[in-house]
Structure formats: structure tokens, C-alpha cells
Amino acid sequence: MDKKILEEGIEQIDAILKEEGISRRDAMKMFGLGGAAMMMGSGVVTEAKASSSAKGKILIVGGGLSGIAAASLLMRSLDEPNITIIEPNEKSVSYQPGQTLVGGGVWEDSDTEYMTADFMPDGVMWIKEKAVEFDPDNNVVKTSGGQSISYDFMIIAAGLKLDFAQIEGLGITDSITSRGDDSAVKDVIGKNGICSIYFANGATNTWKLMQEFIEKAKNGQKVQGVFTHPSTPIKCGGAPKKIMYLTDARLREADARDNAELTFYPNGGKMFGVPEYHEAIVKQFEARDMKWNYNHNLIGVDPQAKIATFYKHWLEKGEYDDILEEYSMVARGEKVEVPYDFLHITPPMKAAEEIANSPIGSDQGWVPVVKETMQHVKYPNVFALGDIAAVPMGKTGGSARKQYKVVVENLISVMEGKELTAEYGGYTVCPLITSLSTVMLAEFDWSGKPTPSFPLDPTQERWIWWLLKVYALKPMTQYGMLPGRA
């Protein structure tokens, strides 16, 4: 991103904050790194605490945002760090939150892609292979290249996989990651009106298909836009709505909105888990004439006929229990076919099989940890963070920013034989894009309540948060979080 554009964006943010009654001094406290690297979660830029003389071989599985940030902080926190990262993808640290902006035609793919080597901390051993077998009882991990890597302590930061294969009719058999080999899906996703911003080429194709969709509406054709949210946990839970808001905005920009019907089909029964944000989003949908149908899970697609099949589910009263004095609830459901011209799929997501099916995994696939300390529930020398960790919510970059500091502090405590004192409180942030110039900055934690970092109504859409999203969060990630400083 051009430095001049970034500086202009920061100046605009600072000016608006002053209009809102926030002093420059307070704004700068919130906006660390001299005002250029903004928050991804509350707090300011921090340096590592006093160095530790603890020793041990640390293995990090996964060299994405979480893994690199943890490695960077450990390198500055330990006197004699011995750190190895297993990561096969040379672009694993690419900026995934920017894929929504690519899908909406705001950014190019080149704005989100950068090389992992440029952010790998000096002194870290990088094994460019995949971890394929875990033996935590003997502290060994085997790689795709046949290596057996021993460790004293391990951090799992392997992210998750996109499982389009769960959707019938697409003909997809393998899962993919957000950045890397997408050959398993490229012949299907990006064609016949089917798109997804959840992987790099998919985001680029989303913008291409969105323009075709808008052109049809502009030419007078009545068109249907369908947007899904699956039954599995997903990274960035707001993204399925963000791309819908951007589609709405682009249609209005083209004066074609009246010819398009946009409908959201989430598996759940709410727009958002936090009541205040749920209510705000419902009002935003109503104001934009965007429709929704709760309790619909996408289970199949006919690309040629352009029909999406959902499993609509609900609960009905069953038999009455005289002892409990209440009715039992019986699950019911039916298949519903929905025609579309533009279908944005948020794919089901899962942990990689080699982790899910290993001793460090769980029945749900995710790595089970104590949610406050991020320590494995069975193996005290193992920690997990980011998308792979089995914690409530927390699959966002803002969550990882909080988690990696907790993991590093607690890992060093284990190395030193001390009690774990650092705790993750469930902080999560979702900059919910609502138009081409506004964002609702949804911050919350396990309390289920808004936890705003600024003294502003967090349910309001604001231009200032659009500037934050477009201009500031990426450099904050590059120059604040990846080096382990923010």
C-alpha cells in the first residue's frame, strides 16, 4: 500500500476521532506504532517483557499469522531461543481479511498476498513441509518429507481447511486452504454464478461474477443473489454478510438494485451471537431490503440448473412429560430448493485430518485447550491458538492477536516451571463492512456483550471504521502483529 495513501487515511481517522470528542493523545494511545498501525483488538503496541533464560526446543506447527507472531515474540523473549516452524506454504501469512475487499472490487489480490519468508523471524528454522503425524507421548512430529522432528514444547497454529466437499453436486472431493493449491475447486467455484471469498482465487472470481450479476440487473433482468453460512464453525463469522453488503452497495452504485433480490441463508437462528449486534444487523438488512431465512444449511448445488438445496430445520413440540411438566422438542427438517443467479458459498470448515485424527485432536477436530490459558487439556507442553484452537468464537485475526501473547507468556511459564497466569478473555473483533464507505466495528468477548475499544456506540456504522479497515488493519498486521509487537 502506498505510504502517502496510508498517511492520508490515518490523518482522516485522527480528524474524525477529534470530531467525536476523542483527544489526539487518547487516539494515539489506542493507535500504536506512531498512529500507523491500528488496533486489531483493544490495546497498544507492546514490547516483550524481560527476557527469560528458560531453554527448550520449541516446535510451531503452522506458519501463518498466529504461528509467525508467536515465533517472533518468543525470539525476543528468550535468551537462547530454539524455534522450528513447520509450514509448507510460502505465502501462508498473506492477508486473509483483505479477501472480502478483493471480492467486492475494492482491492486486488496483489494487495493481500505477500511472502512468508519476508516475515519469518531471523534465527527460526523453517521446515517447508507439512506435519502429517503427531506423537505427543514421545514429543515427535513427522513431516511429509519423512523427517521426525522432536520437541520439548509445541504450539499448534495450523489454521483450518475449507471443506466444499461436504456440499453435494459440486463434484469436489478434497479440502483446501485459504491460500495455496486450490486445484480441487477451481473448475467449480468461480463458474456458473458460484463464488466464495474464502480462498484467494475465489475472492478474485467473486468480483468477476458479481460484475456479471450486476450487469444482468442493470440490463433489466430480475436476478437472485443467495448468500450462505454453514453449520460448522467458520473463520470470520461476519464475512458471509460482508460480501452480501458489498453486493448490495455495488448494485446501488450501478442503479440496478431494484432488479435484484438478495437473500441470506444462515444455518443458525440469529444474525449475530451478541444481541446488540444482532439487532443492529437486522435493522441494516431491513433498511437495505435484504432478506433472510434462518435455519437453512446449504447441502447441495446444481451448477447447471443454478439451484441451491438447503436443509431447513426447526423444532416442534413432542410428547408432554408429566413429571417435568414440559413438552419434549423434536427436530424436524425438509429440503428446500432455491434458484440463484449469484451464489456466494461460505464453505463448511474443519481441522486438517492429520490433526483431527491424532492424539492432539478431538472428536470435533479442533485442538482441545483450556480456553483461558490456551494450554492443551491433556499435554501440558502443548499449546494451540488461532483457527485450530477449540475455544468459543475466536476464529479471527483480532482473536489471534490476543491469544498469541497469552500462549507465549504461558509457554515460558511452563518452561520455567511456574504457574500459568496469562489468560485469554475471549476477545473477538469483526469489522463488519456494511457498504462501500461504512463499517460496524463489532467487538465482544465471552461475556456475550459488546466490548468497544472506543467511547463510541459500537452498533453504529461509521466511515471512520471503513478507513480503519481499508487503510490501517493490514499494516498493523504486517508491522505490528507479525513481528510480535502488537
Catalytic residues: 236, 430
Residue type, 12: Q
C-alpha cell at 176: 483446501
Residue type, 343: L
C-alpha cell at 213: 450479476
**Nearest Cα to 271, choosing from 283, 282, 286?**
282
3-state secondary structure the chain: CCHHHHHHHHHHHHHHHHHCCCCHHHHHHHCCHHHCCCCCCCCCCCCCCCCECCCCEEEEECCCHHHHHHHHHHHHHECCCEEEEECCCCCCCCCHHHHHHHHCCCCCHHHCCCCHHHCCCCCCEEECCCEEEEECCCCEEEECCCCEEECCEEEECCCCEECHHHCECCCCCCCECCCCCCCCCCCCCCCCCEECCCCHHHHHHHHHHHHHHHHHHHCCCCEEEEEEECCCCCCCCCHHHHHHHHHHHHHHHCCCHHHEEEEEEECCCCCCCCHHHHHHHHHHHHHHCCEECCCEEEEEEECCCCEEEEEEEEEEEEEEECCCCEEEEEEEEEEEEEECCEEECCCCEECCHHHHCCCCCCCCCCEEECCCCCEECCCCCEEECHHHEECCCCCCHHHHHHHHHHHHHHHHHHHCCCCCCCCCCCCEEEEEECCCCCEEEEEECCCCCECCCCCCCCCCCEHHHHHHHHHHHHHHHHHHHCCCCC
Residue 342 CA, distance from chain mean position: 23
441 to each of 238, 450, 463, how far by Cα in Å? 11, 10, 11
Rounded Cα gap, residues 227 and 246, in angstroms: 12
28: exposed, middle or buried (Cβ count in 10 Å: 0-12, 13-18, 19+) = middle
When computed from its CA atoms, the radius of gyration of the chain, rounded to whole angstroms, is 23
